[in-house]
Amino acid sequence: MSAAGPAVEPPLGLLAELTHRCPLRCPYCSNPLALTRPGEEMDTATWARVFREAAALGVLQVHLSGGEPTARRDLPELVRAAAEAGLYTNLVTAGVLLDAAKVEALAAAGLDHVQLSVQDAEPASADRIGGMAGGHERKLAAARLVRAAGLALTLNAVVHRQNLDRLPALIALALELGAGRLEVAHVQYYGWALANRAALLPTRAQLDAATATVEAARAAHKGRLVIDYVIPDYHAKRPKACMGGWGRRVLAVTPAGKALPCHAAESLPGLDFPDVREVPLAEIWHRSEAFNRFRGTAWMPEPCRSCDRREMDFGGCRCQAFALTGDAAATDPACALSPRHALLDLAVQEAAAADGAFTYREMARTAPLAR
């Protein structure tokens, strides 16, 4: 493991988590359990400086996320600052707060792309999952405004046991809305999603059917719709390279200014994540102990250390390893070689017996939209 700058390639993407405020209550919310309050969010000028530092570091694209980033009144200014820094700008949004004036302002500020989340293709189910009455119709209206403004659109469908059977309808919805890309992303089980794992985890039969659906749709709509497919680890035999490997391709910055190797890294104990208001982004990326902690392969235990896939999956997900085993340095249980792999089988059995009820996150109460 090296902390020297030249040995570490620059990141390609910056996940800018602008706020934790959100009107939805998704049971798989990826925000941390402890939310940043509006008064603790970084201001416009600080974010603009971060964007300039990111571009100088080698970042090519910025994903403006949250919570719900459109809850920030200064979002057009932030988009303009990122665009002026030379970054490709992608807005990651639920869309429920967008209207024609906001979309027009964002497009004029230099926004390149919108990634719009949907909870289901069936309105009642979508509203139940997101915890917001009328939310699905607002999303559809937002998608049409985005396309009318000439912006590129990706539909992000977070799938799980309670909506996976409607994957064909979700693909049809992406085509109907004029999306150029569809992300079919199975829920990843840490943070709030871990509390709802039994209600969300799909069966193996559902997963196999979904995989076949995606393969058929890719062939049928080649050249019209790109479909990205992120499968769940709980039915896997080998783990994925989470975020392309710890501290290798992406860095995240929280609303309060903490720089992270991945958006869920604050769940790991014993790591001191630097503050971008105090430390330059290049210094953080190349030399911070937190970013170097799980870089490369030297930190790995067996069986990872001697595995011929160690530089392909980089040990899997550190946050998942901690959530399941209590040890962030453990072999990800998604790997069949992990001594804790049976934990995934137990989770699948637990889900099969669950009633499907959600524990909702009341984000709006802890992080109000008003600022």
Annotated binding site for [4Fe-4S] cluster: 22, 26, 29
- Asked whether the beta carbons of 235 and 348 are under 8 A apart, the reply is yes
Contacts by residues 301-306 (CB-CB < 8 Å, ≥ 24 positions apart): 301/329, 301/330, 301/331, 303/331, 303/335, 303/337, 303/338, 304/331, 304/335
Q: Which two tokens stand for residue 97?
A: 């707060």
| Residue 24 structure tokens | 């939805």
The residues facing 13 across adjacent strands are 61, 250
Residues making up the binding site: 22, 26, 29
From 106, 89, 109, 87, select the one nearest 97 (Cα to Cα): 106
Structure tokens at 309: 């896939």
- Say how many C-beta atoms besides its own lie within 10 A of residue 93's C-beta: 26
- Residue in the block written with tokens 């000439």: 150
Beta carbons of 157 and 166 less than 8 angstroms apart: no
Residue with tokens 């807005």: 91
DSSP string for residues in 282-338: HHHHHH-HHHHTT-SSTTPPTTTTT-TTHHHHTTS-HHHHHHHHS-TTSPPTTSTTS
CA angle 193–197–200, rounded 5-degree value = 95
Distances in Å between the alpha carbon of 162 and those of 159, 166, 172, 203?
Answer: 8, 9, 18, 10
- Strand order through the sheet with 61-65: 226-230, 181-186, 152-159, 113-118, 88-93, 61-65, 13-17, 250-253, 259-260
